[in-house]
Amino acid sequence: MMINGILLINKEKGYTSHDVVARLRGILHIKKIGHTGTLDPNATGLLPVCIGSATKLCDMLTDRSKEYRAVIKLGECTDTQDIYGKVINNTGLECVMGLNTEYITNVIKSFEGDIMQIPPMYSAIKVGGKKLYELAREGKEIERAERPVHIESIDIEEIDLPYVRMIVKCSKGTYIRTLCNDIGNKLSVYGTMASLQRTRVGSFGIEDAIGLDEAETLYGEGRISEHVIPTDRVFNEFRAIDKSCIAPGYVNGYDKLVHNGNRINIRGLTVIPSPGEKFRIYDTEGDFIGIYEVHDEAGDPDKSLIPCKMFYSGE
């Protein structure tokens, strides 16, 4: 069974993102599979997995905004910034219980917007060819530069001290563990992440995800394709060019043109593009080819569409 598209997996606790990919390769009997952003083994939730020609989407989906449901435990911090690490500072429960709910809310909401984060030592960022978590396991700690991230919103679901439950919408590259740590520091009681579930990546939500066991069952029943999202759906914001957009006299030879990734002359289309506009390109059979962009060279009277991301596999 040839599969090209995106499968939304609800990752269980204890699995690494690479574990998910490895098991899916065994279930689907496909080698060309990639995930779209690492989730810690102790985190759960949405992990979009790209299959077949859709693996070209991996970097693009990694760049999309994310949403998480997180729980902070106030009163202590650890070397890993979550409850699975070694406690290195502790203020005691009495200090935490004395915090005012309104004060906690105001401090947490102050992290909305553009902020700077120092990546945790227990992260996959590479320094000098070595991942930070590898250095951390060797007992080493090195200086890390601050990085800008954007917190779109933080909605507090419940404050039940020492725990605070919240939903965080943020940019790529945001470490929720670090956010919990920084919130605790600003409250002067320390803080560590107690749990984390990713609930959204771009336009994809956890409500549409399936577990690995379910994926195995569906594949055995020949129904896994019902849950595979077509690659082109990621680009719904772009206008489509299909058979209905080809001008009379240009249909013959059109498929060969786009299958080979050649440029398309605007004169052969019935659409009027805007400068720099991107389009979803389909062949005359309705198969998704890729993303093309308007190209207007100086001194060239004929505007063209040129490919910027091809997904056509010819299968």
Catalytic residues: 40
Burial 53-88 (b: 16+ CB within 10 A, else e): bbbebbeebbebebbbbbbbbbbbbbebbbbebeee
- Please, where are the H alpha helices in 110-234? 132-137, 176-186, 212-220
- CA end-to-end span of the chain: 11
In the block, residue with structure tokens 């949403």: 67
Identify the CA nearest to 239 among candidates 305, 145, 313, 160.
305
In the block, residue with structure tokens 């890390």: 144
CA 176, chain centre distance (Å): 14
Q: Let me know: does 278 contact 246? Beta carbons within 8 Å.
A: no
**Tokens in use for 44?**
């759960």
Cis ω for the linkage preceding 162 (within 30 of 0) = yes
CA atoms within 13 A on the CB side of 194: 15
**DSSP summary character for residue 156:** E
Identify the CA nearest to 14 among candidates 42, 45, 39.
42
Q: Let me know: does 77 contact 39? Beta carbons within 8 Å.
A: no
> Looking at this protein, which amino acid is placed at residue 42?
N
Identify the CA nearest to 172 among candidates 201, 146, 210.
201
